[in-house]
Amino acid sequence: MEYRPLGNTGLSVSVLGQGGAAFGQQYGAVSPAEVADTVHAAVDAGVNLIDTSAYYGRGVSEELIGKALAGGWRDRVNICTKACRLDRDVFDFTPEGTRKCVEGSLRRLGTDHVEILLAHDIEFATDYEYVFNETYRTLEQLKKEGKTRFIGMSCYPLPLLKQAIERCRLDAVISYAHFNLFNTRLLTELLPVAAARGTGVMNASALAMGLLTNQGPQPWFPGPPEVIAACKRAAELCRARGADIAFLGMQFAYSEKSIPCTLSGAARKGEFDANLRALAEPIDRALLADVMAVLDPVRDRTWPCGNWKG
């Protein structure tokens, strides 16, 4: 396993991080035994960062991860969890709500602190000034109290995440769906700002919310139909060549040296094993070039998210 520094935190994190969204049953049922098998396989393979959230399954992901990390496993990993988002349309960025959310997360995770605590999906806030002041101050206070070692924020719109880094002293952030086979804006629009301030950047959703899979995105996917169609054509090209676009997509994400960590939402050990292979096997450059050509018409396309109007 390769490790890279996460900004100025002093943490050296595995390039492959274990994401916890699927553990929240958001993409189908996953048993506690399957979660434990996946987490233990990841840790044994050298993964030292697990990301989750109070939102994932309304606490189910945290609870199952907490159980999987019992018996000494917790000491081998850094936990990142996220507060302020409680359900699909339920958010609470107030100091009281943030604190209550964090206390619940710690209880479910079976720990007295996490390594990284983020305000989750800040684009859904109705007042960004409030987030950059009141929510941020609450995160700082929780850090002083020892509930977390490092703090940050996450969101989809890169201009808003850039503002967060510029306005607040954030140790780490999560950006999602902005470094993948058809969108690499993370490299040019966020990483330079983060590097200048010593903020570590974690890349999530390297398969663009399911776009870059054979199954395609969930029905609620908010992106434009032309992006869905282009990604479907790319997946079909891979299948015709005996390849899997998801495997190629993960290879592409892991190959970028300037990104400290890419989070993978593997729900089962078999899926995690495929990610390990993607990390180890050399990428098929000819296939990659052909897939990129198919995706060129939607290169760097994004979509509205939350209340961000920028």
One of 55, 56, 136, 176 is an active-site residue; which one?
A: 56
What residues have CB less than 8 Å from 253, skipping those under 6 apart?
179, 180, 203, 206, 259, 262
Task: Dump strand ranges (E) for 110-249.
Answer: 114-119, 148-155, 172-176, 200-204
Q: How far apart are CA 294 and CA 84, in angstroms?
A: 38
Go through 130-140 and write b for each residue having 16 or more CB atoms within 10 A of its CB, e for each that does not.
ebbeebbebbe
Cα–Cα distance between 24 and 26 in angstroms, integer? Answer: 5
Q: Active-site residue 128, yes or no?
A: no
Q: What is the DSSP letter of 307?
A: T
85, 124, 138, 174, 235 from 92: Cα distances, Å: 6, 10, 12, 19, 38
Q: Please state, in angstroms and rounded to a whole number, the distance separating the CA atoms of residues 13 and 51.
A: 12
Amino acid at 50: I
CA-to-CA distance for 68 and 108, rounded, in angstroms?
11
Angle at 195 between CA 250 and CA 119, to 5 degrees: 75
Q: Enumerate the active-site residues.
A: 56
